[in-house]
Amino acid sequence: MDYKQLREKTNRGWNTWDTSSVLAHVLLPYGFEIRLCFKDHAVEHVMRNPLIGKSVIAEDPRQPEKITPLLRSWDGRYTSLQVEYGKSIFRVESTVREEEQYLLVTPERIEGREPGLIVEACLLWGREGSISKLDGRLYGSFPDGKTIELFMSRSGYAMANTYSLSPCVTIDLDQPIAIGTQPCSEEEVRIFLKEARAELEQQAESYGKNAEVYTAMKSCLAWNSVYDQEFDRIISPVSRIWNVDWGGYVLFHWDTFFAGLMASVDNPELAWLNCIAIMNERTEDGFIPNFGASFDYKTRDRSQPPVGSMVVMDIYRRWGGKWFLEELYEKFMKQNQWFSEKRTTPEGYMCWGTNRCEAPGPRRFERKSSACRQGAAFESGLDNSPMYDDAEYDAETGMLKLADVGLMGLFIKDCRCLEKMALELGQNEDLPILQQRRQRVEKALQNLYCEEQGMFLNKDLRDGTFSQRVSPTNFYALFSNTVTEEQKQEMMKKWFYHPKKFWGEYLLPSITRDDPAYHDQDYWRGRIWAPLNYLVYKAFLDSGLEKEAKVLAQKSKSLLLKEWREHGHVHENYNGDTGEGCDDAKNSDPFYHWGGLLSYIAIDADV
CA atoms within 13 A on the CB side of 353: 23
Beta-bridge mates of residue 157: 170
Beta-bridge mates of residue 459: 403, 466
Rg (CA), the chain: 25
Whether the CB-CB separation of 403 and 351 falls below 8 Å is answered with yes
State residue 112's pLDDT score. Answer: 80
Pick from 203, 24, 42: which is nearest to 112 by CA?
42
Whether the CB-CB separation of 576 and 219 falls below 8 Å is answered with no
State residue 57's pLDDT score. Answer: 47
Say how far residue 573 (Cα) sits from the centre of its chain: 12
Number of other CB atoms surrounding residue 126 within 10 Å: 7
Number of other CB atoms surrounding residue 426 within 10 Å: 7
State residue 113's pLDDT score. Answer: 81
- Give the span between the Cα atoms of 345 and 445, in whole angstroms: 12
Pick from 211, 189, 186: which is nearest to 200 by CA?
211
**Under 8 Å CB-to-CB from 507, ≥6 apart: which residues?**
528, 533, 552, 555, 556, 559
- Give the span between the Cα atoms of 334 and 414, in whole angstroms: 12
- Give the span between the Cα atoms of 217 and 570, in whole angstroms: 8
Collapsing DSSP to helix, strand or coil, 435 comes out as helix
- Report pTM: 0.96
Whether the CB-CB separation of 571 and 224 falls below 8 Å is answered with no
Burial of 60 (0-12, 13-18, 19+ CB in 10 A): exposed
**Under 8 Å CB-to-CB from 61, ≥6 apart: which residues?**
none
- Give the span between the Cα atoms of 26 and 14, in whole angstroms: 5
- Give the span between the Cα atoms of 331 and 315, in whole angstroms: 17
**Under 8 Å CB-to-CB from 449, ≥6 apart: which residues?**
455, 456, 457, 477, 487
Pick from 569, 571, 577: which is nearest to 592 by CA?
571
Strands 177-180 and 100-109: antiparallel
Distance between terminal CA atoms of the chain? Answer: 35
Q: What is the DSSP string of 344-385?
A: B-TTS-B--B--S----SS-HHHHTTTTSHHHHHHHTT-TT-
Q: Which residues of 86-101 are buried (b: 16+ CB within 10 A; e: fewer)?
A: bebbbbbbbbbbeeeb
* Bond from prior residue into 29 cis (ω within 30 degrees of 0): yes
Question: If you ran DSSP here, which 8-state letter would residue 467 be given?
Answer: P
Tell me the torsion sign for CA atoms 310, 312, 315, 320.
negative
Question: Which ranges of the chain have pLDDT less than 70?
Answer: 43-44, 55-64, 358-367
Tell me the torsion sign for CA atoms 259, 265, 270, 272.
positive
Say how far residue 596 (Cα) sits from the centre of its chain: 8
- Give the span between the Cα atoms of 489 and 385, in whole angstroms: 26
Number of other CB atoms surrounding residue 125 within 10 Å: 17
Amino acid occupying residue 124: L
Pick from 334, 318, 306, 490: which is nearest to 413 by CA?
306
- Give the span between the Cα atoms of 249 and 269, in whole angstroms: 20
Amino acid occupying residue 362: P
Amino acid occupying residue 271: A
Question: Interior CA angle at 540 toward 560 and 521, to 5°?
Answer: 45
Domains of the chain and CATH, by start:
3-205 (2.70.98), 208-605 (1.50.10.10)
Number of other CB atoms surrounding residue 331 within 10 Å: 17
Q: Which residues of 370-395 are buried (b: 16+ CB within 10 A; e: fewer)?
A: bbebebbbbbbbbbbbbbbeebebbe
- Give the span between the Cα atoms of 77 and 218, in whole angstroms: 14
Whether the CB-CB separation of 138 and 149 falls below 8 Å is answered with yes
Helical axes 253-263 vs 530-542, angle rounded to 10°? 70
